[in-house]
Amino acid sequence: MEEKEILLNCLQGSEEGYKEIVGRYRAQLMAMALNILGNREDAEDALQETFLRALRNLERFDLRRSFKNWLYTILYRCCLDQLKKMKRLHRLFQRMKNEHPGSFSRDSFPALEKQSFSQSILKHLKPKERAVLCLWANEGFSSSEMSRLLGCSPSTARVYLFNARKKIKAMLERENVALKNY
Amino acid sequence: MWHSKIINFCFWILPFNSWKDFLLGRHIEKCPSCLKSLASQEEARSILIQAEEVQNLEVLWLDFLGKLKKEKEKKVIRQRKPGLKLKWQWAAGLATVLLAVAINFWFFQGNKLEKIQEAGEIIEHESFELYYVKIESEPARTFVFQPHDSKVIIVWAEKNI
């Protein structure tokens, strides 16, 4: 079934249409959410919110535009919202820890204790840098496409990408040197 | 080499992304030594999670379906309730009109009393006239009444339905 047809089905409230849309894009969107947020639970929340927002606002979507890019735009905003939530939660835990030092063990904190090497590299990038890197490397987006998605100018998107690539290269090289010395 | 280092230094100190982008287009993306300091697409992909690596997404659909149903139910309930927002607008409009009428009434009465005092005579029967009342730019039904032995005049205006 063609995408436009599925979207028209969704507009009529067809559950099958929703299922088709979710099934078609969930893996790509999940990968991007995981790359930006770094953990599964938050990525799942962001993804569900993305699909809900998309279906809620489907009437406003221009069918001539790329639905995938539109979904990515929504996902990016949901991820930023999720990051804000995480920051607030982290601040709350920090304050509670300071106020009641004995009541919290290290496990009480919603932090990523065991991170893979790639996750630890991505952690050094800003969310916008992670997003552009993911769109560029995984999806092959151009800078103008990325800028539309991020809501910035193409030159800003290119600078984000440059920074991300530079940071990653430096960290990969450092890791290679460390492995050689080991 | 030195040229590249200077360009890279300029890149870091420049304040605006548009200026940085100019350097990117003019030098960095064309210079082989600068490109060496950037991760390639393959290198970037190696540290990023790919769509093929994501598993156990079937649960996601069920959770999503649950949320979607809840949202639909909420929407239905909202539709059943007569526009709450409209009610509030209506009440606010009515209250504003009443307030405006009351203020005008007291203001003009005050002026009249001053004039009477100036003239040194007391008029026992004051008149009160109300030309029209509008609610949300529509003519409203208006009732004016005065309780016995009271100088208070109450104006009640309601929307014409």
**A61-64 LR contacts (CB < 8 Å, sep 24+):** A61/A7, A63/A4, A63/A7
- The answer to whether residues B38 and A166 touch, using CB atoms and an 8 Å cutoff, is yes
Contacts A118 to B, Cβ<8 Å: 46-49
Q: How far is CA B63 from its chain centroid?
A: 31
* Cβ separation A137–B65 shorter than 8 A: no
**B14-18 LR contacts (CB < 8 Å, sep 24+):** B17/A153, B17/A155, B17/A156, B17/A159, B18/A153, B18/A155, B18/A156
Residue A112 has pLDDT above 50, yes or no: no
Q: Is B133 helix (H, G, I), strand (E, B) or coil?
A: coil
Contacts A133 to B, Cβ<8 Å: 44, 48
Characterise B145 by phi-psi region: left (phi > 0), alpha (psi -120 to 50), beta (else). beta
ipTM over 0.90: no
Q: Is B113 helix (H, G, I), strand (E, B) or coil?
A: helix
Query: Is B122 at the interface with chain A, CB within 8 A?
Result: no
Interface of A with B in 29-68 (CB under 8 A): 30-31, 34-35, 44, 47-48, 51-52, 55-56
Alpha-carbon distance A66 to B69, whole Å?
27
What are the start-end ranges of the H helices in A2-123? Answer: 3-11, 15-37, 40-56, 67-99, 117-123
* Cβ separation A159–B21 shorter than 8 A: yes
Calculate how close chain B gets to A159, using CA atoms only, in Å.
6
Give pLDDT tens digits along chain B (161 positions): 677 778 778 777 777 888 888 877 777 777 788 888 889 999 999 889 998 888 878 888 888 888 888 877 777 776 666 566 677 888 888 999 999 998 888 877 766 666 666 665 555 556 777 788 888 888 888 888 777 777 777 888 887 76
In chain A the domains, ranked by start, together with CATH numbers, are 1-112 (1.10.1740.10), 114-182 (1.10.10.10)
For range A68-79, the mean pLDDT: 94
Q: Is B14 helix (H, G, I), strand (E, B) or coil?
A: coil
Q: Is the dihedral of CA B26, A148, A73, A151 positive or negative?
A: positive
